[in-house]
Amino acid sequence: MVTVLTIGGSDPTGGAGVQADLQTMASLGAHGAAVVTALTVQDTVRVHGVRSLSAAWFRQQLTVLLADVRVDAAKTGMLATSANVRAVAETMSQWADVPLVVDPVIRSTSGHDLIDEEGVDELRRSLLPLATLVTPNLEEAERLAGRRARTVKEMRECARAIAELGPQAVLVKGGHLGGQLGDVLYAEGQVAELAVERVRLERQVHGTGCALSSAAAVFLASGHGIAQAVERARTYVAAGLRNAVEVGGGSLVIDHTRAASELIG
C-alpha cells in the first residue's frame, strides 16, 4: 500500500480540503496522511471564515511526520499563508525524490481568499519549482502566469509560462467554468489539449480540484508516469461528477467510493 501525504486546509463539509483528499486516497487504495495548514468555517454554500495555524506549528507537523512516515507522494492544497508556502518548500526540497502535486488553491468558488497576497508570489518563487505537477484552474493559471487564460490558445501560453517557473508538468483545467474549454497539459516540452467529458449537473460540485490532485498523487505514488497519472485522475473526477451527491443546501460532493469503483471496478 502506498502512503500519500496531503498538506492543506480543513473543510468541515468533507467536500473539499484534506477531508476530500483523504477520501480520494482511501477510495483508490492508498493510505492518506494529512498535515493541516488552516481551519475554515464552511458549509456547502460558502466559506464563512479562515484561521491559519502558526507557521512554526505547521512546520513542526510536517518535519515530525516526514522524519517517521515514509511518504510515496505528496500534494498541497490550501496553504493559507506565504509562511506556510515557504515551510512546505523548505521541507519538501529535502525530499526531492518524493513526487509532489501542487494544487495552487487561491480562492474558493464562493469568492473567499484561501491564501494571502504574498502567498501567490511565494508559490511562484519557491514551491512551483519543486512540483512534479501543478494543477491550476483558469483563474489560478491567470494569477500564476500573469496573463489571460480564456481561450485554448491562451491556456496553452499560460501552461508554458507556468512551466517556466520550474515544475515538471502543468495541467490547466478549463473544464469547470461551464464553457467549452478542455484541459491543457504541458509535459516534457509539449503542450497537449485534453478533451473534457461533459457531465450535465443542476448544481455545482465542490472539491473536484482536491480530488483531481489527490488522485494524481496516488497514481504517481504507485509508479505511473505524469501523463498517465493525469489521465487516470481526470477519469476519476469524471466518475466523481457522475456520482455527485447532496449533503447540504449548496454544492454537491463526490461519492468517492462509487467514483473509485467505476474506475477500478
**DSSP string of 200-258?**
--SS-BTTHHHHHHHHHHHHHHTT--HHHHHHHHHHHHHHHHHTEE--SSS-BEE-HHH
Cβ proximity to ligand PLP: between 223 and 248 the closer is: 248
Q: How far is the CB of 36 from ligand PLP (least distance, A)?
A: 9
Residue of the chain from 14, 136, 207, 240 that contacts ligand PLP (CB under 6 A): 207
Residue of the chain from 5, 16, 144, 254 that contacts ligand PLP (CB under 6 A): 16
d(C-alpha 111, C-alpha 161), whole Å: 25
Cβ proximity to ligand PLP: between 191 and 230 the closer is: 230
Could you tell me which stretch among 22-30, 86-94, 143-151, 204-212 binds ligand PLP (CB under 6 A)? 204-212
Q: Residue 121's closest CA among 83, 151, 155, 150?
A: 83
241, 199 Cβ separation under 8 angstroms: yes
250 binds ligand PLP (CB under 6 A): no
Cβ proximity to ligand PLP: between 102 and 191 the closer is: 102
215 binds ligand PLP (CB under 6 A): no
φ/ψ (deg, to 5) at 62 = -70, -50
Q: Kindly state the cell numbers that stand for 86.
A: 515557504
Q: How far is the CB of 170 from ligand PLP (least distance, A)?
A: 17
210 binds ligand PLP (CB under 6 A): yes
d(C-alpha 197, C-alpha 53), whole Å: 38
Residue of the chain from 14, 17, 99, 175 that contacts ligand PLP (CB under 6 A): 17
Q: Kindly state the cell numbers that stand for 250.
A: 449548496
d(C-alpha 96, C-alpha 131), whole Å: 9
Q: How far is the CB of 18 from ligand PLP (least distance, A)?
A: 7
Alpha helices in the chain (DSSP H): 17-27, 55-68, 82-92, 117-122, 138-145, 152-163, 208-221, 226-242, 256-264
| Count of positions on this chain that bind ligand PLP (CB under 6 A) | 20
The residue number with the shortest CB distance to ligand PLP is: 17
Cβ proximity to ligand PLP: between 44 and 91 the closer is: 44
d(C-alpha 265, C-alpha 259), whole Å: 10
Residues in 64-123 that interact with ligand PLP by CB under 6 A: 77-78, 105, 108-110, 114
* Residues near ligand PLP (CB under 6 A): 8-11, 16-17, 40, 42, 47, 77-78, 105, 108-110, 114, 206-207, 209-210
